[in-house]
Chain A
Amino acid sequence: MRELDIFLKDIEKRAFRIAQLATHCEADSLDIVQDSMIKLVTKYSHREPTEWRPLFLKILENKILDWHRKQTVMNKLFFWKKGAKKDNKEIDDKFDGEPEAIDLQACPESLAFTEQLGQHLLKCVESLPLKQQQCFVLRSWEGLSIKETAQVMKVNENSVKTHYSRALEKLRQQHLKLEQ
């Protein structure tokens, strides 16, 4: 348990940031991280400590996907609500499509977060479509290989290459726009 505690302590902030980039919501990100931790402890604590990191990232990515699916369903059910996010498109369109404009009004905490960071690079990452964002974060920040990223995201290696390349291209374009 001690090893697991150290591992979770080491990864919790990064996990929170990954979730926050994907959800734009602090409270939901905390829930996602907690759920991921609980799942790792209850289901995989008996595994080798070297396996924990990819497993935890996989759980986290799945939780984020679940959150997005839930949001999509909720927005479809309660379409008349003004506070609803504008992600009424199909899930695949949303996850693979063009980057959406960042809806900072959707969650007040995210506004504070963005102001606090003041770094347009993070805004660029935040605005990427979900799959591209996941792929970019896992490859560039978490340092996973193509194979590991594919396993975490449950896609094939070619998809990882495509998502990563598109993410980089969009980041470059948006970075140039913001610089101008």
Chain B
Amino acid sequence: MKDEINSEQKLAEQTAKALDSSLEQLSPNISARLEAARKTALATKAKPGTFQNWNFSQLFRPQALSAGLALSVCLLIVWNLSPHIDQQTPTFASSQNLSEFILLSTLDETELDIIEDIEFAYWLAQKLETPGGLNASSLDKPSNG
């Protein structure tokens, strides 16, 4: 096993040496073309990857426009859906109404009458306190009794 590993390592080293020596055998033509390729590459303008070389016209490409349009449509849909969601979702106010409904349903008829009388008395007291609050028209249509 150890011999096998050694032989493989030796083979790898031999191959690496063969590859090294093959570099020396490259034709002058290839070397010249590689040099030309290097010069061409170095002549290209460097782009450091900052905002200074940004081409803002790219922002108006059709892809960017379509992506922006799709985003706008999505936002519009979400915006329109949000009030509908609010109506459907149980909130604090709706839970309060529910508790009031449960409370009222547990009361019998006489207790309801008493509550209504108290409410009327409270309303009447408020109207009398405010100057000019109570007039004939408001008394014409009493809500209770």
Tell me the nearest residue of chain A to B23, going by C-beta.
A13
For residue A14, which residues in chain B have a CB less than 8 angstroms away from its CB?
23
Evaluate contact between A30 and B41: CB separation under 8 angstroms.
Answer: no
Tell me the nearest residue of chain B to A125, going by C-beta.
B15
B interface size (C-beta, 8 A): 33
Evaluate contact between B46 and A45: CB separation under 8 angstroms.
Answer: yes
Evaluate contact between A117 and B42: CB separation under 8 angstroms.
Answer: no
B111 contacts the other chain (CB 8 A): no
Contact A42:B40 (CB < 8 A) given known A168-B12, A172-B7, A172-B11: no
A124 contacts the other chain (CB 8 A): yes
| B38 interface neighbour in A12, A42, A45, A137, Cβ under 8 Å | A12
Tell me the nearest residue of chain B to A118, going by C-beta.
B25
For residue A50, which residues in chain B have a CB less than 8 angstroms away from its CB?
none
Within 8 A of A (CB), among B32-67: 33-35, 37-38, 40-42, 44-49
For residue B38, which residues in chain A have a CB less than 8 angstroms away from its CB?
5, 8-9, 12, 37
Shortest CB–CB separation between residue B113 and chain A, in angstroms? 81
Shortest CB–CB separation between residue A46 and chain B, in angstroms? 4
Shortest CB–CB separation between residue A25 and chain B, in angstroms? 13
Q: Is the interface of A mostly helix, strand, loop or mixed?
A: helix
Shortest CB–CB separation between residue A35 and chain B, in angstroms? 9
Cα(A124)–Cα(B12), bound, Å: 11
Cα(A43)–Cα(B53), bound, Å: 12
Tell me the nearest residue of chain B to A30, going by C-beta.
B33
Evaluate contact between B37 and A41: CB separation under 8 angstroms.
Answer: no
Within 8 A of B (CB), among A6-65: 8-9, 12-14, 16-17, 26, 30, 33-34, 37-38, 40-43, 45-46
For residue B41, which residues in chain A have a CB less than 8 angstroms away from its CB?
8, 34, 37-38, 40-41
B14-29 CB contact bits vs A (8 Å, 1 = yes)?
Answer: 1110111111011100
Evaluate contact between A117 and B25: CB separation under 8 angstroms.
Answer: yes
A171 contacts the other chain (CB 8 A): yes
Q: Knowing that A37-B37, A116-B27, A122-B18 are A-B contacts, what are 9 other residue pairs whose CB atoms are under 8 Å apart, sorted by A's residue number?
A: A8-B38, A9-B35, A13-B23, A37-B38, A41-B44, A45-B46, A119-B18, A168-B8, A168-B11
24 contacts between A and B (CB under 8 A): A8-B42, A9-B38, A14-B23, A17-B22, A17-B26, A30-B34, A33-B34, A33-B37, A37-B38, A38-B40, A38-B41, A43-B47, A46-B46, A46-B49, A116-B25, A116-B27, A121-B14, A124-B15, A125-B15, A139-B12, A140-B16, A168-B8, A169-B8, A171-B11
User: Could you list which residues of chain A lie within 8 angstroms of chain B, going by C-beta atoms?
Assistant: 1, 4-5, 8-9, 12-14, 16-17, 26, 30, 33-34, 37-38, 40-43, 45-46, 116-117, 119, 121-122, 124-125, 136-137, 139-141, 168-169, 171-172, 175
